[in-house]
């Protein structure tokens, strides 16, 4: 390990309503692989975005190669030698590997692009990295692993001194992971510093030198990888004091009927052979890290995305769900995690959004029975305590919490008995959060059944009767609320198979 | 670690069409098949005069198709090329016929007018961020009106072959004694080679492909995408200008109010030739072949008894089919 | 400016509508000053001739634009309906009332094809517009063997359809067409604002995915918008021939743009989700007066095309800017 190439000290970043980075420290040596771990929302991505100039920090210093720096945009960071290889690769699919690597800075022979030279340089680059890729192949035709290597090669060709990997192995096969690690070892030899964001604890000892953990925007600590244990890391990730009382036991009777049964659901890489049951009056928590496939599973059940195979039973009867229409007919409602894009029609009013799922019940012949619609809407505005000046208010003007309540109203008006909440309190302030929790508890008391997808462990522990944990598209475990702890959940969520 | 459900590493994701040698090969085979079909079903089709006919009427369509390939590759479209080419011909022709300008000057005016409207389109789309089909729909409307205004509502007869200014017609149709040579085809081939080179080997073309492929990634690479859009629409406009010359050279007169529908053949030809509506993919030779399919159909159908008007219907159906195929192709890609 | 906007009376009538009416009046005033004999009842009737068929086209396409799509095949479809049904009348001697219905049905069929391709096959609407534009021109041509079709005059046996436009009362004419268009506009407004279909159209145009995820069959409703549009084009055909008698295959394009211009001027957003029938109505009036006025001051029709094109560009640009600001 060489000398320090990067020091970040006392980094603070606030967004409206959330202190995303709270006095965070981080440093990196040349030739070191320094892992950065933490739950969703811990602040890892935000820290990297501050480093590369996508966000402007509120306070703190970044020292790079001995000088204090401040990057205003990713291009400046790139030119200085700091490059991110994102999880979602962003490349030009129809162009070739060589063309991608040199986009924007092509070698020219007069007015002509010197493709031959670019191919030559790329080949040399790949040889130096010990990678076997044909630079004349179109990016779209490569596997994800090879595409990623091209991104890395591009970074190196930009003379990168620091490369940030954001969940690099999430989409790779075992062989490809080994190949990636080989390349990382080569990069280390070249004194390139590597920041490695991952949730796979098993990788820490294999490829990293140190591991730092963040939690709720704070820097928790750093361990030397070879001296650390999995438990050490997990307890740093989750070791928070939970101020709310976690649920200690489930009140759902043991003989409660199964309202929803999912068997062998398959929908691409994110939903692999998922099976589970939902009981009447139960809140079934779905825990896991981002990208574990929970939203995809919910959408497949709801018919929003096509599925490859799998059976769904509602109240014991097998049902065919090919579109959201089918799901809604069978009494399933889905509250998307992206409320604004999928949950509400922003430019319409509260009342219009409330009846969206069953407008046919509010007809007077050909005309919409506005009176009935208003009455029903007002009923829920009162019972759910939706803060809005009137029901003709455009939903876009409501706060996040109240928008969520409108989405919920939509499904209650339709009388859905099975509700899937996807990140129900995301982007909602604390006061409204407890409102939502109260509502959920009331709903299950009335006999409805809830699946709650959440990335917030305290929320999972507070609300669920049972917990299913997903990891990389598979169900990695099931826990009752009595036996569940943050550590156990995180263990299951970070399992590599 | 999860097992990868994908195929073997490396060159794994080629579709059937790619395995057949690429879209161009498939389209070429269709061209050949059509020629064979018409030749067999109608003996009159096999004459040299028919080939001449196909070629003559293909020039102006091919030129606008080559031009519109660029906006299409960026993921946009240029609808003004049809009425546009008529407009530019009327403007240039008016100056030649009624103001006594020399023909070569008129030709330059044609191309310049196309360039101006092309630039306007580029600004509307690239800088003002208007949706391409709307912006070019408006310029389509405007060129229709402008052409008419300029020519005072009259049809313009460009000088005929044999008269003093008529030499420009020989650029496309060279008659040496009894031999009729479709010289225009030579220029088309040269232009195809030139534009193909520009698309694949210059920065302009490369960035057009990049922007159409992934606008964000291109922007992040530091490329000024506004200029890219402007260049793409400027090329389209210039080629509409060239097409107006070809049109004037082949037809005896140019009439205002015509031209709507040409853009369909140009765009349709490009899409059949492999340009994708979603952008990022396209080749000039493909466009050439695609336009040929349309032209052969246009000329060949009357030979098997279908009136010329069926050609409009067929073109419409062919366009929809080409787009459906293109959509299907992209759906397969997204499934990965 | 904002103070004016907040005034309760202004809010009730609608700021946009007021602006549009002002534009209409200013333009009328302009032509009244600069054109000969512009201020006369006959002039207005003449302008109205243009407004009726254009109005039906514009009302129809408003529904499509509300869903976030576009249809510029309406002009040629209108012509095709007029030509085919006219041919049935003049060549096959079918009864007039059947021909009128045929015109409407032909428009509806094109609309169905258009809607099916857009809603169920995901073909971009401007492609289907282009293709159907060509197809309808070709069909019209093939059907009549490329001949022009002339509908009967009022005095003739089958001429009573002309009463849809105006009825002679004593010495003057009563503009029946205006009443019919107005009533249709009111019906369209009711459909858009008070029925399920209209609600779905606007919501689909605003956020199609959110509507789909609410369990609504968006494909069905999206297609319906196009069917309405096509049907209106079929109705527009009747008003066109009642005013202008002759229809020729292969034409009709220019009316597309004017109909869309009327919508966009009237406040219908090209992005979808925002539509105003009354705005479209006034927009159509503006274009009709513009059209009449340009002829009256001696310029030819083509200036109007250029001006309309510019108006649409300005209107859409303002729409784009206002949307950017909202986000």
For helices B225-250 and B203-213, what crossing angle results, to 10°? 110
C80 band by pLDDT with thresholds 50, 70 and 90? very high
pLDDT in the model for residue B21 = 53
Return phi, psi of residue C32, to 5°: -60, -35
Q: How far is A158 from chain B (nearest CA, A)?
A: 12
Q: Which residues of C107-137 are buried (b: 16+ CB within 10 A; e: fewer)?
A: bbbbbbbbbbbbbeeebbbbbbbbbbbbbbb
Do residues B318 and B294 make contact, with C-beta atoms less than 8 angstroms apart? yes
Q: Look-up: residue for tokens 């096999």?
A: B46
Residue A220 in any domain: the answer is yes
Give how far Cα A296 sits from Cα of A173, A199, A259, A409, A417, Å.
Answer: 20, 19, 20, 23, 21
Is residue A112 within 8 angstroms of chain B, CB to CB? yes
Residue A397 in any domain: the answer is yes
HEC secondary structure over chain A: CCCEEEEEEEEEEEECCEEEEEEEEEEEECCCEEEEECCCCCCHHHHHHHHCCCCCCCEEEEEECCEECCCCCHHHHHHHCEEEECCCCCCCCCCEHHHHHCCCCCCEECCEECHHHHHHHHHHHHHHHCCCCCCCCEHHHCCHHHHHHHHHHHHHHCCCCEEEEECCCCCCCHHHHHHHHHHHHHHHHCCCEEEEECCCHHHHHHHCCEEEEEECCEEEEEEEHHHCCHHHHHHHHHCCCCCCCCCCCCCCCCCCCEEEEEEEEEECECCCCEEEEEECCCEEEEECCCCCCHHHHHHHHHCCCCCCEEEEEECCEEECCCCHHHHHHCCEEEECCCHHHHHCCCCCEHHHHHCCCCHHHHEECCEECHHHHHHHHHHHHHHCCCCCCCCCCEHHHCCHHHHHHHHHHHHHHCCCCEEEEECCCCCCCHHHHHHHHHHHHHHHHCCCEEEEECCCHHHHHHHCCEEEEEECCEEEEEEECCCCCHHHHHHHHCCCC
Q: Look-up: residue for tokens 């409660």?
A: A256
Please give the interface size between A and B, counted as residue pairs whose CB atoms are below 8 Å apart: 98
Q: Which residues of A339-374 are buried (b: 16+ CB within 10 A; e: fewer)?
A: bbebbbbbbbbbbbbbbbbbbeebeeeeebbeeebb
Question: Could you tell me if A264 and A169 lie in one domain?
Answer: no
- Please state, in angstroms and rounded to a whole number, the distance separating the CA atoms of residues A47 and A12: 9
- Specify the CATH number for the domain of residue A135: 3.40.50.300
Cβ neighbors of C152 (< 8 A, separation 6 or more) are C89, C90, C158, C159
Is residue C196 within 8 angstroms of chain A, CB to CB? yes
Give how far Cα A364 sits from Cα of A370, B27, B298, Å.
Answer: 9, 56, 54
- The token pair that represents A284 in the structure block: 């079934």
Domains of chain A: total = 2
pTM of the entire structure?
Answer: 0.86
Give how far Cα B249 sits from Cα of A183, B57, B88, B174, Å.
Answer: 62, 10, 13, 11
Mutate to test the interface with B, among A101, A103, A497 (most CBs of B within 10 A): A103
Do residues A357 and A411 make contact, with C-beta atoms less than 8 angstroms apart? yes
Mutate to test the interface with C, among A329, A345, A371, A410 (most CBs of C within 10 A): A345
Question: Could you tell me if A90 and A126 lie in one domain?
Answer: yes
- Please state, in angstroms and rounded to a whole number, the distance separating the CA atoms of residues C224 and C231: 10
Residue A176 in any domain: the answer is yes
Q: Where are the domains of chain C?
A: 48-248
pLDDT in the model for residue A275 = 96
Q: Look-up: residue for tokens 């990140």?
A: A423
Q: How far is A99 from chain B (nearest CA, A)?
A: 9
Do residues A460 and A489 make contact, with C-beta atoms less than 8 angstroms apart? yes
pLDDT at C226 over 50: yes
Nearest C-alpha in C relative to B79: C130
pLDDT in the model for residue C188 = 96
Q: Are C313 and B131 in contact (CB < 8 Å)? A: no
Do residues C152 and C159 make contact, with C-beta atoms less than 8 angstroms apart? yes
Q: Are B128 and C117 in contact (CB < 8 Å)? A: no
Contacts of B193 in chain A (CB under 8 A): none
pLDDT per residue over C127-147, tens digit each? 899 899 989 998 998 888 888
Residue C235 burial (CB count, 10 A): 25
Nearest C-alpha in C relative to B264: C130
Is residue C307 within 8 angstroms of chain A, CB to CB? no
Contacts of C212 in chain A (CB under 8 A): 304, 323-324
Q: Look-up: residue for tokens 């604004």?
A: A340
Mutate to test the interface with C, among B140, B312, B317 (most CBs of C within 10 A): B312
Q: Look-up: residue for tokens 């919501």?
A: C203
pLDDT in the model for residue A451 = 97
- Please state, in angstroms and rounded to a whole number, the distance separating the CA atoms of residues C224 and C230: 10
Q: Are A352 and C199 in contact (CB < 8 Å)? A: yes
Distance between alpha carbon B177 and the CA centroid of its chain, in Å?
32
Give ∠ CA A97-A101-A103 in degrees, rounded to 5: 110
Nearest C-alpha in A relative to B282: A94
- The token pair that represents A118 in the structure block: 């670019």
Across B191-324, the runs of DSSP E, i.e. the strands, are none
- Please state, in angstroms and rounded to a whole number, the distance separating the CA atoms of residues B179 and A296: 69
Is residue A374 within 8 angstroms of chain B, CB to CB? no
| Gyration radius from chain A CA atoms | 25
Q: How far is B75 from chain C (nearest CA, A)?
A: 12
Question: Could you tell me if A344 and A215 lie in one domain?
Answer: no
pLDDT at C15 over 80: no
What average pLDDT does range C86-103 have in this prediction?
90
Q: How far is A255 from chain C (nearest CA, A)?
A: 32
Q: How far is B245 from chain C (nearest CA, A)?
A: 23
- Please state, in angstroms and rounded to a whole number, the distance separating the CA atoms of residues B230 and B233: 5
How many Cα atoms occupy the beta-carbon half-sphere of C67 within 13 Å?
Answer: 29
Mutate to test the interface with A, among C119, C188, C208, C214 (most CBs of A within 10 A): C214
Contacts of B6 in chain A (CB under 8 A): 143-144, 173
Is residue A88 within 8 angstroms of chain B, CB to CB? no
Q: How far is C214 from chain A (nearest CA, A)?
A: 5
Question: Could you tell me if A42 and A150 lie in one domain?
Answer: yes
Question: Could you tell me if A343 and A386 lie in one domain?
Answer: yes
Question: With a cut of 50, which residues of chain A have pLDDT below it?
Answer: 497
Which of A169, A204, A238 is the C-terminal boundary of a domain? A238
- Please state, in angstroms and rounded to a whole number, the distance separating the CA atoms of residues C14 and B269: 47
- pLDDT averaged over chain C? 87
Question: Could you tell me if A55 and A149 lie in one domain?
Answer: yes
Do residues A462 and A437 make contact, with C-beta atoms less than 8 angstroms apart? yes
pLDDT in the model for residue B9 = 35
Distance between alpha carbon B262 and the CA centroid of its chain, in Å?
9
What average pLDDT does range C223-235 have in this prediction?
97
C33 vs B89: which has the higher pLDDT: B89
Query: Interface partners of C (3+ CB pairs, < 8 Å)?
Result: A, B
Is residue A356 within 8 angstroms of chain C, CB to CB? yes
Select the residue of C190, C206, C215 nearest A324 (Cβ to Cβ): C215
Q: Are C132 and B316 in contact (CB < 8 Å)? A: yes
Q: Are A352 and C196 in contact (CB < 8 Å)? A: no
- Please state, in angstroms and rounded to a whole number, the distance separating the CA atoms of residues A469 and A449: 18
Select the residue of C117, C128, C313 nearest B138 (Cβ to Cβ): C313
DSSP 8-state secondary structure symbol assigned to residue C63: H
- A135-164 residues touching B, CB cutoff 8 A: 137, 140-146
The DSSP bridge pattern shows strands A309-314 and A317-319 to be antiparallel
- Please state, in angstroms and rounded to a whole number, the distance separating the CA atoms of residues B166 and C145: 35
Contacts of A302 in chain C (CB under 8 A): 213
- Report the candidate in B130, B281, B285 with the shortest Cα–Cα distance to residue B210: B281
- Please state, in angstroms and rounded to a whole number, the distance separating the CA atoms of residues A474 and B304: 61
- Please state, in angstroms and rounded to a whole number, the distance separating the CA atoms of residues B322 and B317: 9
Do you know the residue count of chain B?
336
C162 vs C21: which has the higher pLDDT: C21
Q: Are C214 and A370 in contact (CB < 8 Å)? A: no
Contacts of A143 in chain B (CB under 8 A): 4, 6-7, 9-10, 12-13
Question: Could you tell me if A231 and A98 lie in one domain?
Answer: yes
Is residue C126 within 8 angstroms of chain B, CB to CB? yes
- Please state, in angstroms and rounded to a whole number, the distance separating the CA atoms of residues A319 and A328: 12
Q: Are B309 and C131 in contact (CB < 8 Å)? A: no
Q: How far is C294 from chain B (nearest CA, A)?
A: 13
Direct distance between the N- and C-terminal alpha carbons of chain B, in angstroms, rounded to an integer:
20
- Please state, in angstroms and rounded to a whole number, the distance separating the CA atoms of residues B294 and B31: 9
Is residue C217 within 8 angstroms of chain A, CB to CB? yes
Select the residue of C196, C200, C273 nearest A347 (Cβ to Cβ): C273
Nearest C-alpha in B relative to C271: B131
Q: How far is B8 from chain A (nearest CA, A)?
A: 8
Q: Are B214 and A173 in contact (CB < 8 Å)? A: no
Return phi, psi of residue C82, to 5°: -65, -40
- Please state, in angstroms and rounded to a whole number, the distance separating the CA atoms of residues A81 and B167: 61
Mutate to test the interface with B, among A77, A93, A94 (most CBs of B within 10 A): A94
Question: With a cut of 70, which residues of chain B have pLDDT below it?
Answer: 1-22, 308, 331-336
Query: Interface partners of B (3+ CB pairs, < 8 Å)?
Result: A, C
The CATH class given to the B24-30+46-328 domain equals mainly alpha
Nearest C-alpha in A relative to B213: A92
Do residues A60 and A10 make contact, with C-beta atoms less than 8 angstroms apart? yes
Please give the interface size between B and C, counted as residue pairs whose CB atoms are below 8 Å apart: 133
pLDDT in the model for residue A477 = 93
Which residue range forms the structural domain that includes residue A45? 4-238
Residue A248 in any domain: the answer is no
pLDDT at C271 over 90: no
Contacts of C215 in chain A (CB under 8 A): 324-325, 327-329, 357-358, 414
pLDDT in the model for residue C196 = 94
- C137-166 residues touching B, CB cutoff 8 A: 137-139, 141-142, 145-146
pLDDT in the model for residue B172 = 84
Do residues A392 and A349 make contact, with C-beta atoms less than 8 angstroms apart? yes
Select the residue of A115, A142, A169 nearest B201 (Cβ to Cβ): A115
């Amino acid at each position: 390990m060489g000398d320090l190439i990067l020091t970040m000290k006392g980094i603070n970043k606030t967004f409206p309503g959330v202190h995303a980075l709270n006095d965070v420290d981080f440093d990196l040596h040349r030739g070191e692989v320094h892992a950065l771990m933490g739950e969703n929302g811990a602040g890892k991505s935000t820290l990297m975005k501050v480093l590369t100039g996508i966000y402007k920090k509120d306070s703190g210093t970044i020292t790079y190669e001995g000088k204090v720096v401040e990057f205003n945009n990713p291009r400046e960071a790139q030119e200085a030698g700091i490059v991110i290889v994102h999880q979602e690769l962003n490349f030009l699919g129809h162009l070739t590997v060589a063309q991608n690597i040199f986009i924007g800075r092509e070698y020219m022979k007069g007015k002509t692009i010197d493709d031959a030279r670019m191919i030559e340089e790329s080949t040399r680059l790949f040889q130096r990295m010990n990678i076997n890729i044909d630079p004349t192949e179109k990016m779209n035709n490569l596997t994800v692993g090879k595409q990623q290597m091209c991104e890395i090669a591009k970074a190196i060709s930009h003379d990168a001194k620091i490369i940030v990997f954001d969940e690099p192995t999430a989409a790779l096969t075992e062989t490809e992971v080994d190949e990636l690690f080989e390349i990382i070892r080569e990069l280390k030899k070249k004194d390139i510093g590597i920041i490695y964001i991952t949730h796979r604890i098993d990788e820490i000892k294999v490829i990293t030198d140190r591991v730092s953990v963040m939690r709720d925007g704070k820097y928790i600590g750093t361990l030397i990888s070879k001296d650390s244990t999995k438990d050490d890391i997990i307890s740093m990730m989750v070791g928070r004091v939970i101020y709310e009382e976690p649920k200690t036991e489930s009140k759902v009777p043991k003989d409660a009927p199964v309202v929803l049964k999912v068997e062998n659901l398959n929908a691409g890489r994110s939903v692999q052979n998922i099976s589970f049951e939902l009981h009447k009056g139960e809140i079934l928590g779905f825990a896991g890290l981002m990208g574990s496939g929970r939203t995809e599973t919910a959408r497949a059940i709801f018919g929003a995305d096509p599925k490859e195979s799998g059976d769904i039973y509602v109240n014991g009867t097998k049902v065919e769900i090919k579109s959201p229409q089918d799901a809604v007919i069978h009494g399933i409602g889905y509250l998307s995690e992206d409320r604004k894009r999928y949950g509400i029609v922003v430019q319409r009013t509260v009342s219009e959004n409330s009846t969206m799922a069953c407008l046919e019940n509010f007809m007077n012949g050909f005309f919409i029975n506005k009176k009935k619609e208003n009455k029903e809407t007002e009923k829920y505005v009162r019972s759910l305590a939706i803060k809005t000046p009137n029901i003709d208010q455009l939903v876009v003007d409501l706060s996040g919490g109240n928008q969520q309540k409108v989405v919920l109203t939509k499904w209650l008006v339709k009388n859905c008995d099975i509700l899937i909440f996807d990140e129900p309190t995301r982007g909602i302030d604390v006061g409204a959060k407890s409102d939502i929790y109260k509502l959920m508890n009331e709903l299950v008391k009335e006999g409805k059944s809830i699946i709650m997808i959440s990335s917030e462990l305290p929320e999972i522990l507070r609300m669920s009767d049972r917990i299913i944990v997903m990891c990389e598209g598979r169900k990695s475990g099931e826990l009752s609320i009595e036996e569940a702890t943050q550590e156990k959940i995180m263990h299951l969520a970070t399992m590599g198979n | 670690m999860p097992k990868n459900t994908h195929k073997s590493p490396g060159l794994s994701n080629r579709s059937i069409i790619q395995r057949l040698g690429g879209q161009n090969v498939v389209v070429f085979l269709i061209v050949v098949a059509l020629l064979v079909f018409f030749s067999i079903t109608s003996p009159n089709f096999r004459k040299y005069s028919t080939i001449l006919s196909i070629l003559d009427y293909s020039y102006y369509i091919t030129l606008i198709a080559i031009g519109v390939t660029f906006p299409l590759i960026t993921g946009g479209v240029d609808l003004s090329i049809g009425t546009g080419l008529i407009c530019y011909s009327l403007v240039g022709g008016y100056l030649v016929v009624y103001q006594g300008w020399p023909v070569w000057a008129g030709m330059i005016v044609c191309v310049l007018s196309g360039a101006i409207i092309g630039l306007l389109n580029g600004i509307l789309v690239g800088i003002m961020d208007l949706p391409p089909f709307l912006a070019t729909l408006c310029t389509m409307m405007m060129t229709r009106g402008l052409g008419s205004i300029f020519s005072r509502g009259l049809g313009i007869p460009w000088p005929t072959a044999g008269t003093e200014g008529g030499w420009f017609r020989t650029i496309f149709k060279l008659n040496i004694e009894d031999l009729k040579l479709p010289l225009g085809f030579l220029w088309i081939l040269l232009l195809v080679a030139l534009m193909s080179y520009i698309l694949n080997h210059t920065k302009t073309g490369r960035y057009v492909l990049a922007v159409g492929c992934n606008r964000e990634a291109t922007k992040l690479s530091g490329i000024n995408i506004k200029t890219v859009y402007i260049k793409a629409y400027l090329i389209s406009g210039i080629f509409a200008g060239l097409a107006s010359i070809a049109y004037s050279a082949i037809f005896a007169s140019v009439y205002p109010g015509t031209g709507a529908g040409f853009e369909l053949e140009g765009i349709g030809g490009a899409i059949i030739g492999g340009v994708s509506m979603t952008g990022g993919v396209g080749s000039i030779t493909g466009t050439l072949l695609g336009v040929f399919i349309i032209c052969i159909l246009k000329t060949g159908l009357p030979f098997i008894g279908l009136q010329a008007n069926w050609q409009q219907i067929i073109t419409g159906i062919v366009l929809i089919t080409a787009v459906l195929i293109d959509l299907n192709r992209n759906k397969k890609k997204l499934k990965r | 400016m904002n103070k004016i906007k907040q005034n309760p009376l202004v809010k009730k009538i609608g700021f946009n509508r007021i602006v549009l009416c002002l534009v209409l009046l200013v333009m009328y005033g302009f032509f009244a000053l600069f054109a000969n004999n512009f201020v006369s009842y006959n002039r207005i009737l003449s302008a109205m001739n243009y407004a009726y068929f254009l109005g039906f086209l514009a009302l129809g396409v408003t529904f499509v634009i509300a869903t976030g799509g576009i249809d510029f095949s309406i002009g040629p479809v209108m012509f095709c309906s007029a030509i085919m049904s006219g041919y049935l009348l003049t060549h096959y001697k079918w009864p007039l009332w059947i021909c009128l219905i045929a015109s409407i049905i032909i428009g509806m069929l094109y609309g169905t094809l258009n809607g099916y391709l857009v809603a169920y096959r995901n073909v971009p609407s401007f492609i289907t517009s282009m293709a159907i534009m060509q197809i309808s021109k070709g069909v019209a041509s093939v059907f009549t063997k490329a001949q022009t079709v002339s509908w009967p005059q009022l005095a003739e046996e089958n001429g009573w359809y002309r009463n849809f436009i105006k009825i002679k009362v004593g010495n003057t004419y009563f503009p029946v067409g205006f009443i019919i268009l107005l009533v249709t506009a009111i019906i369209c407004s009711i459909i858009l604002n008070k029925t399920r279909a209209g609600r779905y159209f606007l919501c689909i145009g605003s956020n199609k995915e959110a509507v789909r995820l609410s369990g609504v069959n968006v494909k069905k409703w999206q297609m319906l918008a196009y069917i309405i549009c096509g049907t209106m084009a079929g109705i527009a055909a009747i008003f066109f021939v009642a005013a202008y008698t002759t229809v020729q295959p292969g034409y009709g394009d220019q009316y597309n743009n004017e109909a869309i211009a009327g919508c966009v001027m009237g406040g219908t957003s090209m992005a979808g989700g925002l539509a105003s029938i009354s705005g479209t109505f006034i927009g159509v009036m503006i274009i009709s007066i513009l059209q009449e006025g340009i002829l009256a001051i001696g310029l030819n029709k083509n200036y109007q095309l250029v001006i309309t094109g510019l108006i649409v560009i300005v209107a859409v640009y303002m729409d784009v800017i206002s949307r950017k600001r909202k986000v």
